[in-house]
Amino acid sequence: MLGTKQANQFVDTLTQLATAATSAVTMIHSLLEMANDGLGFNLDEQSLADTRSTHKCHAISDDRPKADSASYSVCWRGKTCFLGNNLPFRLFERLVRWPNRFFSHDELLHEVWQGCRSPDAVRSVVKVLRRKLREAGMEELASAINGTVRNHLALTLDRKL
């Protein structure tokens, strides 16, 4: 059994590995397109389409963040933050669907946690989500998770990110 410190190191290392893998897929996709376009390799369109669909997260040029359920990652401005199939991802996925809308903690507890939990559970997961986004270089996005309305939470994208 791992201790708390070891478990945290394990999770952090796994997160870094997943982020690196995501970056590698993006680089491979770029190289495949360069090879097809400029080097005369004749890769069939289906092969290129398959590589694009495996990581469509990076194909978005929009300034809006995206919750990529295929990789359980947040994608924003060319960066990826792997969250995993867990509460921080499900919370972000919920908030990003309706940006600038405040959800009560009770709504989030019902919809994200799917059961009765303490309101402290929301604050705890928000703290983890913000930390992971900051570690992935998404400081502005982490700051856009807005809890200024008492017992409510929103992803406020109206302000300039």
Boundaries of domain holding 80? 4-155
Considering the domain boundaries, does residue 161 fall inside one?
no
Considering the domain boundaries, does residue 160 fall inside one?
no
**Average pLDDT, whole number, for the chain?**
79
Closest by alpha carbon to 96, among 121, 134, 53, 133?
Answer: 133
User: What pLDDT, in 10s, does the model give residues 64-81?
Assistant: 899 999 999 999 999 999
User: What pLDDT, in 10s, does the model give residues 104-136?
Assistant: 999 999 999 887 678 789 999 999 999 999 999
Considering the domain boundaries, does residue 129 fall inside one?
yes
The CATH code of the domain that includes 117 is: 1.10.10.10
- Pair 88, 74: CB distance under 8 Å: no
Considering only residues 159 and 5, tell me which one the structure prediction assigns the higher pLDDT. Answer: 5
Considering only residues 18 and 110, tell me which one the structure prediction assigns the higher pLDDT. Answer: 110
For residue 29, what are the contacts with CB-CB under 8 A and spacing of at least 6?
51, 52, 55, 58
pTM of the predicted protein model: 0.59
Q: 49-53 contacts: CB < 8 A, separation 24 or more?
A: 51/25
| The token pair that represents 41 in the structure block | 């390799």
pLDDT of residue 118: 80
How many distinct structural domains can be found in the chain?
A: 1
